Amino acid sequence: MRRWLDTPAIRGPVIGVGAFAIGYLIVLAITIVGEQATLVAQNNPQAAGWLYYNAQLANVVTIGGNGGWTTAFTGQEFNLLTQILWNQPVPTGQLIEQSSFLSGVVPPATYHCVPIVILFAAGFLFVRRGNVETTWGAVAASGSIAMGTTLAASVGTLLLTVQVDGLVIRPDPLEGILMAGLFFPMAISVLGCLAATRT
């Protein structure tokens, strides 16, 4: 079993799943300590997951509604983390306020840094352990890691779903898989992979 797990084709995706999970758990820990009396605090662990997807440039969406008060929140698509970080104006029709979502105690850049650091380290360690020495080998290694993060991000879009009176709030399934699962992890882990081949 150990020899099977040590093959690069298996080890990369396993590291990808592990990196995604570790990044999420770190964001969850930060929100438990730093967020109080906010939507994030009230909806942990799901809202911590929304932040984790937001940090990787994937939006959170709202769908459904039962015809009551929740209907006003139907059809929202937001990344409040990025809005706050870049001081962007609230889009027309967005009813979820920035101050009710995040307290501001933890700088938004902190949340963005978590997946960057974790994915860079995952790429670096994977290449170091696998003795990859070429640029193309490093690129292939990052692709292998992204296979695991794509799987984890796919499952996460289901597990991080909240339903309130018919209103469903969750990471956007397509953006979650493409951004948090594939593009963001490949873009960052390849930097760690390349750094490992040059040191």
3-state SS record for 4-17 = HHCCHHHHHHHHHH
Residue 52 has pLDDT above 70, yes or no: yes
For residue range 10-41, what is the model confidence (pLDDT) as tens digits?
Answer: 888 999 999 999 999 999 999 888 877 566 66
Q: What is the pLDDT of residue 79?
A: 85
Instruction: Give percent of the chain above pLDDT 70.
Output: 81
Q: Is residue 98 scored above 80 in pLDDT?
A: no
Angle of helix 184-197 relative to helix 8-34, nearest 10 degrees?
110
> How many Cβ atoms from other residues are within 10 Å of residue 73's Cβ?
18
Phi, psi of 21 (to 5 degrees): -65, -45
pTM for the full predicted model: 0.87
Cα–Cα nearest to 100, from 38, 184, 170, 14: 38
Are 141 and 127 in contact by the 8 Å Cβ rule? The answer is: yes
pLDDT of residue 66: 64
Split into its structural domains, the chain has a count of 1
Which is more confidently placed, 43 or 157? 157
**What pLDDT, on a 0 to 100 scale, did the predictor assign at position 106?**
85
Indicate the pLDDT class of residue 155, thresholds 50, 70 and 90.
Answer: very high
**Residue range of the domain that includes 115:** 2-197
